[in-house]
Amino acid sequence: MTWTEISGGLEINQIYKIGQSAINADLIALGQQDNGSAISDGSTFTTVYGGDGTECEIDYSNENYKYVCYVTGDIQRSTGGSYSPIAHTVNGITETGGWVTPYLLHELTLILCFAGFSNVYRTNNVKISSNTAVTWSAISSGETSKCTVLEQSPANVNIVYVVRSGAMKRTDNANAAAGSVTWTNCTLPGGNTPTDLEAHPTNSNIIYATANYDVINQKIKV
């Protein structure tokens, strides 16, 4: 028996995460399993970083600022050209993250960015000109499990949620000085660890979650 390979030319990827420009709906960034991170302008896809691509972000006000990530939190930033590292045991981060490390740009202040390794880190100068000048500070302490989800409330930007295996926490002063940020435990939806979160756009005390590998219509009041 002989076999003939007939899969050539198939464009198939497993996508971990997608980031979209708020300025240009055609501009998206993709993190792909084993196929790197790619940027699409609506007509072509260009690979910008190799390996496994994970979380992606595009600055809401200036689409030249794009962020892609390799596994365990190797966040790469472009200011319109090539991509350079701004995190992952550099610039003040002393930990590695989970396979798909969560990070997000601040809802209102786009020089701020949060990233979840074991502890949650914040930078107040993510758009500084030199990638080596981006500085991160831990806004939590003593955590050993890797973060899997981060979410900030658009209704109250002082509120940030973080998920780790078997636990979900919230801070109500995420923008305070790093050493004074405090965290409280949240009730898990149905006793399950959330796989994703979406904060209510106008009610700061409601957040929606997916859990137990299903999309559930449940509000979490904390």
Q: Which helix (H) or strand (E) holds 156?
A: none
pLDDT of 13 reads 87
Distance, CA of 69 to CA of 158 (rounded, Å): 25
Cβ atoms within 10 A of the Cβ of 189, count?
20
* Secondary structure E strands in the chain: 15-20, 28-32, 36-40, 45-49, 57-58, 66-70, 74-78, 84-85, 103-105, 113-116, 120-123, 136-138, 147-152, 160-164, 167-171, 184-185, 194-199, 206-211, 214-221
Residue of higher predicted confidence among 220 and 112: 112
Given strand 167-171, what is the order of strands in its sheet? 147-152, 160-164, 167-171, 184-185
**3-state class (DSSP) for residue 8:** coil
Collapsing DSSP to helix, strand or coil, 55 comes out as: coil
SS3 category, 182 = coil
Give the residue from 99, 182, 96 showing the smallest Cα distance to 144: 96
Do 71 and 103 lie in one domain? The reply is no
**pLDDT at residue 216, rounded to an integer:** 65
- Structural domain includes residue 116: yes
CATH code, 148? 2.130.10.10
* pLDDT value of residue 213: 74
pLDDT tens-place string over residues 44-60: 989 999 999 999 999 99
Asked whether residue 71 is domain-assigned, the answer is yes
Question: Same domain, yes or no, for 176 and 130?
Answer: yes
Q: Which two tokens stand for residue 176?
A: 């305070």
Question: Do 158 and 216 fall within a single domain?
Answer: yes
Confidence of residue 7 (pLDDT cuts 50, 70, 90): confident
pLDDT computed for residue 219 by the predictor: 61
| Mean pLDDT score, 112-119 | 98
Task: Give dist(CA 157, CA 164) in Å, integer.
Answer: 21
Q: Are residues 81 and 106 in the same domain?
A: no
132 falls within a domain: yes
pLDDT of residue 190: 87
Would residue 185 count as lying in a domain?
yes
Residue that is last in its domain, among 85, 115, 144? 85
Residues 62 and 160 placed together within one structural domain of the fold: no
Same domain flag for 130 and 210: yes
Q: Is residue 188 part of a domain?
A: yes
b/e per residue 107-118 (b: at least 16 CB within 10 A): beeeebbbbbbb
Per the domain annotation, does 91 fall within a domain?
A: no
Same domain, yes or no: 104 and 203: yes
Residue for token digits 């701020």?
112
Please say which residue of 85, 108, 127 terminates a domain.
Answer: 85
Tell me the residue type at 90: V
Q: Which domain holds residue 220?
A: 99-222
What is the per-residue pLDDT across 32-45, written as a single tens digit (0 to 9) for each? 999 999 999 998 98
Tokens 């005390």 correspond to 205
* Among candidate residues 59, 85, 111, the one where a domain is terminated: 85
Q: How many domains does the chain have?
A: 2
Q: Are residues 41 and 114 in the same domain?
A: no
73/45 same-domain check: yes
Mean pLDDT, to the nearest integer, of 158-186? 97
Do 187 and 110 lie in a common domain?
yes
Q: Please tell me whether residues 160 and 217 are part of one structural domain.
A: yes
Residue-wise burial string across 48-80, b where 16 or more C-beta atoms lie within 10 A, e elsewhere:
bbeebbbbbbbbeeeeebbbbbbbbbbbbbbbe
